[in-house]
Amino acid sequence: MTKSEWRKKIKNELLSMEANDRKVLSEKIAAQLFKTNLWQNSNFIGITVSRKFELDTSFIIKKAWEEGKTVCVPKCYSSNNKMEFRELSSFDDLENVYMDLYEPVIDRTKVITKENIDLLIVPGLVFDKKGYRIGYGGGYYDRFLQDYQGSTLSIAYSFQTTEQLPFEEFDVPVEQIITEEGRYI
């Protein structure tokens, strides 16, 4: 399958999930994440704010706050295709920007440099056993990851995993993928 065929297939599966199944599986995946050394040893967590049809990241964000971790969420700039992470200390510091994406309000949040982010939870639609992923196609994370030195992992439902995906030479694989069934790689 091509990248666009993968995107369509997985997005349709995500959209067809029942809300309760999404909640139960998201909580299971979060519980698996919290057991990892990567999570336990990280103080600055980079993570996206999920949209309604995606794996719910709100459990993870709340747990990070409870544990005194600093949560950073991405702010994308389409004018130059760049992305920065900004500290999020309340869901009230978010605004709906486009395509139901929530990003930090610039006036209420401060930039956290990539050197400070211990663990980056990289989003995607589908992942393979080598850590390669297909995202939504904007390339923001691929560019951000080029010189990122911290740890990376992704969280996904098991149906978002496959044996092998097409990838480009500039794609950067994640170190771990966690599903409701445990660690995928």
Catalytic residue (choose from 92, 133, 143, 183): 133
Catalytic residue (choose from 51, 118, 142, 143): 142
> What values do phi and psi take at 105, rounded to 5?
-75, 125
Active site residue 147: no
In sign, the C-alpha dihedral spanning 61, 65, 67, 70 is positive
- Tokens standing for residue 174: 């994640």
Active site residue 133: yes
CA quadruple 107, 154, 132, 46: dihedral, nearest 10? 30
Beta strands in 7-115 (DSSP E): 44-46, 70-77, 82-88, 94-96, 102-104, 111-112
- Burial of 40: CB neighbours in 10 Å, binned 0-12, 13-18, 19+: exposed
User: Any idea which residues carry the catalytic annotation?
Assistant: 133, 142, 171
